Amino acid sequence: MILINIISLLLLLGACVSESETGPPGWREPPDCVRASELCNQNSQCSSRYRIMRQCLSGGDKERSAMLASRECQGALEVLQESPLYDCRCKRGMKKELQCLQNFWSIHMGLTEGEEFYETSPYEPIHFSEEFRHASIISDSSLSKLSPCSEAGKPCNPCLDAAKACNLNETCKRLRFAYNSICSKATPPQSSVANQEPCSRKRCQKALRQFFERVSWELSYPLLFCSCPDQACAERRRRTIVPSCSHQERHRPSCLELRHTCRSDALCRSRLADFHTNCQVTPHTATSCPHDNYHGCLMSYVGLIGSDVTPNYSDNSPSNISISLWCSCRGGGQQEAQCEAFHRDFTHNTCLKNAILSFGYGAEGGGASVTELPSTFLGPAQPPVISKPAPSLHAIKPMDSACVFSTCANLQDGGQKCVSSEEFECEESLLARESMGSQDLAGPRSGGGGGKSPPGLQLCVGVLVLPALRRLSLL
Amino acid sequence: SRTKRARKPRPCDLRKLVLKVSELGLGYESDEEMVLKYCSGRCTAHRQNYDLTMRHMVQTAFHNQRRDKVSSGPCCRPTAFEEALTFLDNRSRYHIIQNVSAKNCGCV
């Protein structure tokens, strides 16, 4: 009986996996850039040109353009454009991601000379996935059913619910603790003065990147994109990434300076290019997002957190969402327009705002999206955008719920066990309980708290099930 | 069979409870909810001769001559704590609490 259940669950999940894994038909995946450079190195002509190309790009900013103009470098570039390195891409969170990105830029930097305002994203396109539909399961059904927001008279704070869901998951709790303790000057109760050390920005940003890379987005996105009815909630949302350490600095640099810093780092440069690819306001779609793909935009936004261009909410306004970088364009002189244009992609980005609102509000997203004129920097005047949330966000088919099951079986088992209270064998613990004047730990709350399945923990863990499926087919 | 199982005392093990940080009694005001793991259950099976002797001493020798208090059996206590927990309090400040949630239990 159990076996049958497991098999049927795997089959359902198999359906879920295959649906989200298949790309558009006829679309062949480009090789990743680590593999591409291996292929290039097997060919003597390609590898020698690749070596030349890397030398062409090794100098500083000024030398580089002169070097690139030379005949040798141009020749190398020409050969490399025919190689697998030319159209290679990288996967988010892949093994050797940094190496892959460095390989990508080693040829693409030569193609553009780093002069382009928007650069090609080195990452694979984010498919129009079934995945994001699951987001609406979290925000529509699981959370809103269990969240206090649905109960009249109780305070409503979806960001608090997101924190709870994270606390109930071991990985999320552990990695949230990791970045919080590094980023915040958090005060342990006793030694509050003695232990206070200033935060290390670099370590903090690394811990943030790890949090968003390793925690499933079903748990991390609600912390960052929760919808808020009041300022207290919005302040919690704003503080999610511990902005005092990760976002703000004593000195507020020029936005172009910030962009320059970012572009000199392969990872930051890639994340920025990815953000521009996926969150660029477009007049051609209903949502203002490229291909109406909210998930793509949110994913690339999250990718920037922990980089030199870490964006964040600029205030604790609950409904009027405003995102910015820690930089300014005042006194930028000639380049002020370019500087503004760069920053406006964060501050006045209709696509990004719609994506955030749509994630946070789920079904009510229709009433919450923004209509705003997109940045005028981008050429011809554009008509006002009619914003409505992507239809895919709200259509929940029965199939979707089949992919959902709890990954928290242990916790629930444990929870149910908590219900009954036991006598203590120890006299001292009995004494202690009396002196504390506290209630029995397993008392009144446990029935409601421990036994119930926690909200937001229902995940589609299709990826984890793949090996299991393979094993099954071997039998 | 259900009633029988319910009556049978359970051995010492780790149990879980979901509650608000402010309910921990440590003075923090935060509505953030967390999992508190604690140790509970009987340690009867882990009694040593020491425990049997102590129980006897309390009833006889200690009772007459001294007022020493001793525990008459091993206690179900945490043998290790979970790593610290961070949370935002209701004024949006981060805090860390250590050694509040049990990781392993033992009869000691």
Q: Which of B32, B75, B84 sits opposite A164 (nearest CB)?
A: B32
Q: Which of A167, A436, A442 sits opposite B35 (nearest CB)?
A: A167
pLDDT tens-place string over residues A203-228: 999 999 999 999 999 999 999 999 98
Residue pairs between chains A and B whose CB atoms are closer than 8 Å: 133
Say yes or no for a CB contact (<8 Å) between A422 and B40.
yes
Say yes or no for a CB contact (<8 Å) between A422 and B10.
yes
Q: Which of B73, B76, B88 sits opposite A239 (nearest CB)?
A: B88
Instruction: Tell me if chain A has a CB within 8 Å of the CB of B84.
Output: yes
Say yes or no for a CB contact (<8 Å) between A420 and B33.
no
**Which of the residue ranges A161-165, A329-333, A466-470 would you say has the lowest mean pLDDT?**
A466-470
**Which of the residue ranges A165-169, A256-260, A429-433 would you say has the lowest mean pLDDT?**
A429-433
Checking if the pLDDT of B56 tops 60, the result is yes
Say yes or no for a CB contact (<8 Å) between A427 and B76.
no
Residue A372, both tokens: 């705003």
Q: Considering only CA atoms, which of A173, A184, A268 is closest in space to residue A220?
A: A173
Instruction: Tell me if chain A has a CB within 8 Å of the CB of B78.
Output: no
What is the band of A463 on the pLDDT scale with cuts at 50, 70, 90? very low
Max mean pLDDT range (A113-127, A157-171, B3-17, B57-71): A157-171
Mean predicted confidence (pLDDT) in B17-28 = 94
- Cα–Cα distance, A306 to A104 (Å, whole number): 21
Q: Mean of the per-residue pLDDT values for chain A?
A: 70
pLDDT at A14: 43
B87, β-bridge pairs:
B95
Q: How many helices and strands, by DSSP H and E, does chain A display?
A: 24, 4
Mean predicted confidence (pLDDT) in B49-55 = 89
**Residue where the block lists tokens 């049997």:** B52
Checking if the pLDDT of A420 tops 60, the result is no
Q: State the nearest Cα–Cα gap between B64 and chain A, in angstroms.
A: 20
In chain B, the residue whose alpha carbon lies closest to the alpha carbon of A437 is: B25
Q: State the nearest Cα–Cα gap between A413 and chain B, in angstroms.
A: 9
Q: Which of B16, B42, B83 sits opposite A450 (nearest CB)?
A: B16
pLDDT at A378: 35
CA dihedral B61, B67, B70, B71 (to 10 degrees): 100
Per-window interface: A 308-347 vs B, CB < 8 A: none
Checking if the pLDDT of B19 tops 70, the result is yes
pLDDT at A127: 67
**Residue where the block lists tokens 């295959």:** A18
What is the band of B60 on the pLDDT scale with cuts at 50, 70, 90? confident
Say yes or no for a CB contact (<8 Å) between B15 and A442.
yes
In chain A, the residue whose alpha carbon lies closest to the alpha carbon of B31 is: A160
- E-strand stretches of A174-305: none
Say if CB A136 and CB A390 are below 8 A apart: no
Residue A58, both tokens: 């090794």
Say yes or no for a CB contact (<8 Å) between A417 and B15.
yes
Cβ-count burial of A106 within 10 angstroms (0-12 exposed, 13-18 middle, 19+ buried)? buried
Per-window interface: A 392-421 vs B, CB < 8 A: 411, 414-415, 417-418, 420-421
**Which of the residue ranges A192-196, A264-268, A310-314 would you say has the lowest mean pLDDT?**
A192-196
Strand A323-324 versus strand A312-313 pairing type: antiparallel
Per-window interface: A 105-164 vs B, CB < 8 A: 155, 157, 160, 163-164
Q: Considering only CA atoms, which of A268, A471, A240 is closest in space to residue A356?
A: A240
Mutate: best of B31, B35, B44, B107, partner A, most A CBs <10 A: B35
Mean predicted confidence (pLDDT) in A328-349 = 88
Say yes or no for a CB contact (<8 Å) between A186 and B94.
yes
ipTM above 0.90, yes or no: no
Say yes or no for a CB contact (<8 Å) between B76 and A425.
yes
pLDDT at A387: 35
pLDDT at A163: 93
pLDDT at A313: 96
**Residue A424 or residue B82, greater confidence:** B82
Cβ-count burial of A181 within 10 angstroms (0-12 exposed, 13-18 middle, 19+ buried)? buried
- Cα–Cα distance, A226 to A359 (Å, whole number): 7
pLDDT tens-place string over residues A1-53: 555 555 554 444 444 444 444 444 555 667 889 999 898 889 888 899 888 88
pLDDT at B55: 86
Contacts of B84 in chain A (CB under 8 A): 177, 181, 188
Q: State the nearest Cα–Cα gap between A373 and chain B, in angstroms.
A: 34
Cα three-residue angle A301-A218-A277, rounded to 5 degrees:
25
**Residue A257 or residue A130, greater confidence:** A257
In chain B, the residue whose alpha carbon lies closest to the alpha carbon of A431 is: B71
Q: Which of B19, B85, B98 sits opposite A449 (nearest CB)?
A: B19
- Cα–Cα distance, B10 to A66 (Å, whole number): 78
Per-window interface: B 34-73 vs A, CB < 8 A: 34-36, 38, 40-44, 69, 71-73
What's the topology of domain A156-186+199-361? Annexin V; domain 1 (1.10.220)
Say yes or no for a CB contact (<8 Å) between B35 and A168.
yes
pLDDT at A6: 53
pLDDT at B5: 55
- Cα–Cα distance, A184 to A76 (Å, whole number): 48
Q: A362 in the Ramachandran plot: left (φ > 0), alpha (ψ -120 to 50) or beta?
A: left
